[in-house]
């Protein structure tokens, strides 16, 4: 029985996706821009089976979400045999890193290759979106830009070529607990914030400004824009009219304070945060080890991983 295996790395958005104009198709309200990371990835193998089945890290898992996704693929690509999907996640489970990004990117690549299709990365990106919005960006190495588009055909990511930027991301793990509010639910609530229109307006110019900062290899500007964007996203959660909430914990605030102190000491250090309490610190590669040591000294219990730009999707025969 033939098996097909693909690996995709996770990505961190520097300009975030936080709101859908179509929840069925995962069409976002704004474009987003990300960096794929070397340290965290998913490897997925598919083979024909009697029923669609999902195994994650050696354990049977609830296949409901994957079922929906495979249905969307079947509607688009034509019917295909049920699949046994075995996925190995090298992403701290639910640690605020979007394992769904690497997981759906790897699954899209493995499934289409298994069907004998050799599709352009932008088509894979468009298909992966149906599984998880952030998966659109995990097909690509380095920086990726997900154009919001206006419909199913026009909403997908592209690689964003940049000069060779000495960027590192420190991933500070505050909690490995499963998040209480899923990204989809968080976005729905955030869109009820009176500040949501302003968020969309700002994201539109921040996307352009971020591309200019990357082309200029201006890490300070990259960091400022990313931190402003991330904190505005979390402010939407706090100001939602309908069931306001936060992903922050007291330790999140402690790390944010430390990031500010590092900046006062003339280091490049800017924070970005996703749908969880963990903080990712954007810095210059030359400063990453020093910042890791400072974090260890001030907050010795927290695990800190230094990540760098990672590769795009790859296959094993």
Q: Which stretch binds ligand 2P0 (CB under 6 A): 44-52, 126-134, 211-219, 263-271?
A: 126-134
Question: 94 to 113, contacts with ligand 2P0 by CB under 6 A?
Answer: 98, 100
> Is residue 17 within the footprint of ligand 2P0 (CB under 6 A)?
yes
In the complex, the smallest distance separating the C-beta of residue 146 from ligand 2P0, rounded to whole angstroms, is: 8
Q: Which CB atom, from 17 or from 156, has the smaller least distance to ligand 2P0?
A: 17
Q: Lay out the site mask for ligand 2P0 across 154-193 (x = CB under 6 A, - = otherwise).
A: -----------------------------xx---------
Q: Which CB atom, from 219 or from 275, has the smaller least distance to ligand 2P0?
A: 275
> Is residue 92 within the footprint of ligand 2P0 (CB under 6 A)?
no
Instruction: Tell me the site size for ligand 2P0, rule CB under 6 A.
Output: 15
**Distance between CA 66 and CA 184 in Å, rounded?**
16
> Is residue 27 within the footprint of ligand 2P0 (CB under 6 A)?
no
**Distance between CA 206 and CA 209 in Å, rounded?**
5
Position among 92, 133, 142, 309 found at the interface with ligand 2P0 (CB under 6 A): 133
**Distance between CA 159 and CA 144 in Å, rounded?**
4
Bridge partners for 36 per DSSP? 11
Q: Which CB atom, from 13 or from 307, has the smaller least distance to ligand 2P0?
A: 13
Could you identify the residue written with the tokens 């045999």?
81
> Is residue 18 within the footprint of ligand 2P0 (CB under 6 A)?
yes
The contacts of residue 75 (CB under 8 Å, 6+ apart) are: none
**Distance between CA 92 and CA 96 in Å, rounded?**
8
- CB neighbours (10 Å) of residue 158? 17
Position among 132, 162, 229, 252 found at the interface with ligand 2P0 (CB under 6 A): 132
CB 222 within 8 A of CB 282: yes
Strands 279-284 and 270-273, sheet pairing: antiparallel
> Is residue 87 within the footprint of ligand 2P0 (CB under 6 A)?
no
3-state secondary structure of 239: helix
Q: Which stretch binds ligand 2P0 (CB under 6 A): 46-54, 130-138, 210-218, 308-316?
A: 130-138
> Cα 233 to chain center, whole Å?
14
Position among 44, 111, 112, 134 found at the interface with ligand 2P0 (CB under 6 A): 134
**Distance between CA 282 and CA 259 in Å, rounded?**
10
Residue 280, CB-side half-sphere exposure with 13 Å CA sphere: 27
> Is residue 283 within the footprint of ligand 2P0 (CB under 6 A)?
no
Q: Give burial (CB, 10 Å; 0-12/13-18/19+) of 188.
A: middle
Q: Give me Rg for the CA atoms of the chain.
A: 19
Q: Which CB atom, from 63 or from 133, has the smaller least distance to ligand 2P0?
A: 133
> Is residue 13 within the footprint of ligand 2P0 (CB under 6 A)?
yes
Question: Which residues contact ligand 2P0 (rule: CB under 6 A)?
Answer: 13, 16-18, 26, 32, 98, 100, 132-134, 183-184, 274-275
């Amino acid at each position: 029985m033939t098996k097909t295996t693909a690996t995709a790395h996770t990505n961190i958005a520097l300009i975030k996706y936080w709101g859908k104009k179509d929840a069925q198709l995962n069409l976002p309200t704004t474009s987003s821009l990300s960096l794929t990371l070397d340290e965290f990835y998913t490897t997925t193998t598919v083979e024909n089976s009697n029923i669609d089945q999902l195994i994650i890290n050696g354990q049977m898992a609830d296949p409901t979400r994957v079922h929906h996704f495979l249905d969307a693929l079947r509607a688009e690509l034509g019917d295909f045999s049920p699949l046994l999907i075995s996925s190995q996640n090298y992403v701290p489970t639910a640690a605020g890193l979007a394992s769904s990004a690497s997981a759906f990117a790897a699954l899209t690549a493995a499934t289409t290759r298994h069907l004998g299709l050799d599709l352009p990365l932008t088509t894979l990106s468009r298909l992966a979106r149906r599984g998880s919005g952030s998966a659109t960006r995990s097909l690509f190495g380095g920086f990726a830009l997900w154009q919001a588009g206006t419909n199913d055909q026009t909403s997908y990511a592209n690689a964003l070529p940049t000069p060779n930027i000495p960027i590192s991301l420190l991933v500070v793990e505050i909690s490995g607990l499963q998040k209480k509010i899923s990204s989809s639910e968080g976005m729905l609530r955030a869109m009820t914030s009176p500040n949501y229109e302003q968020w969309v307006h700002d994201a539109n110019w921040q996307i352009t400004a971020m591309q200019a900062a990357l082309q200029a290899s201006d890490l300070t500007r990259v960091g400022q824009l990313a931190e402003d964007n991330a904190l505005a996203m979390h402010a939407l959660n706090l100001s939602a009219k309908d069931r306001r909430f936060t992903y922050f914990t007291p330790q999140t605030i402690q790390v944010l304070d430390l990031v500010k102190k590092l900046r006062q000491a003339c280091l490049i250090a800017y924070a970005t945060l996703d749908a969880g309490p963990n903080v990712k610190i954007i810095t210059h590669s030359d400063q990453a080890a020093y910042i890791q040591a400072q974090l260890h000294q001030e907050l010795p219990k927290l695990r800190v991983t230094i990540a760098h730009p990672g590769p795009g999707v790859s296959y094993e025969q």
